[in-house]
Amino acid sequence: MSGSQKALKVVSVLLIIYAVAMAAFGIFMVAGGSFLVGETVDVDGTAQAANVMAAALGAGTIAGGVIDLIIGLLGLRGAKNPRKVGPFFVLCIIGLVLGLVSLGMSIAQGSFNPWSLVSLVIIAVCLYLSAQVKKQA
Digit-coded pLDDT (tens) for 91-136: 999 988 988 988 888 888 888 778 778 888 888 999 999 999 988 8
In angstroms, the CA 96 to CA 9 distance is 19
8 A C-beta contact, residue 133 and residue 8: yes
**C-alpha dihedral, 16 to 23 to 117 to 125, nearest 10°:** 10
Q: What is the per-residue pLDDT for 38?
A: 81
Domain boundaries, the chain: 1-83, 84-136
pLDDT at 9: 93
* Whole-structure pTM value: 0.81
Mean pLDDT of 20-49: 87
